[in-house]
Amino acid sequence: MAEKADSISEEESMPKKETGGFRETLTTVILAIFIALGVRTVAYEPFNIPSGSMIPTLLIGDYLFVSKASYGYSRHSLPFSLPLIPGRIFFEEPKRGDVMVFKLPTDNKTDYIKRIIGLPGDTVQLKNSVLYINDKAVKRERAEDFIERTDSKNFSRTPQYLEILPGGKKHYVLEVTDNTFFDNTSVYTVPEDHYFAMGDNRDNSSDSRVIGFIPKVNLVGRAEFLFFSVDGDVWKFWEWAESLRFERFFQGIE
């Protein structure tokens, strides 16, 4: 009788072990999700570049990490912009020339990436494509044309300039013409707690000349470095031998 009782006890214990194993697995998965969300919220978040508005600094098909701690945190630092953070906490002032990700002011949900040109209190204007900040022309130097492949056999050339912002930040911009709407603007005076952002592809960027000033609360983070880049469809891995831009991997963003 004792042997029979022992046998029943062992059989009954087996489902408990299976249940315990499932619970451990579920706990591990949930913990991993919370850790990933935590890193995404407070440390770094990946983004990809779908448009050419930041050429030549960022190319279509670039994948990058954004530092979420660089400007402090707001509700837009959280997944789905959950309204759990009032205003902005642990705020650090952005620097002129930073490449930043922000939520589009017109809908507060679409991610945009541009360069900070105007700080609170600044005046910004373009005259014949030359950038003026606080009534002073920003120095720029003609550089070699930017060459971009348009298809497997053809390439395009675009005039490129090295722009030197007040404070010494240097970056390249593209400028096709000097007489479009984007090249001659009225004077923009940046309000308190707002920023003026522009794309480096000056004639092909919907930036603060179109969408308006960027509220401080809409800042998501500063673009830090690229971790992947592909000239084509990222899912066509069989084409990666020709489409991957290895020279851009782990490149810092200036």
Catalytic positions are: 53, 114
229 by Cβ neighbours in 10 Å (0-12 / 13-18 / 19+) ranks as: buried
What are the tokens at 23? Answer: 């619970």
Cite the beta strand spans of the chain per DSSP E. 44-48, 62-67, 99-103, 111-118, 123-127, 130-133, 136-137, 139-149, 155-164, 170-174, 188-189, 194-198, 214-215, 219-229
CB distance 78 to 85 below 8 Å = yes
CB distance 199 to 173 below 8 Å = no
Helix (H) or strand (E) holding 61: none
Query: How are beta strands 139-149 and 155-164 bridged, if at all?
Result: antiparallel
Name the residue with tokens 């970056």.
Answer: 171
List, as one string, the DSSP characters of 76-143. GGSGGG-TTS-S-BS--PPPTT-EEEEE-TTTS-SEEEEEEEE-TT-EEEEETTEEEETTEEPEEEEE
The Cα–Cα gap between 156 and 86 comes to 47
Radius of gyration of the CA atoms of the chain, in A = 25
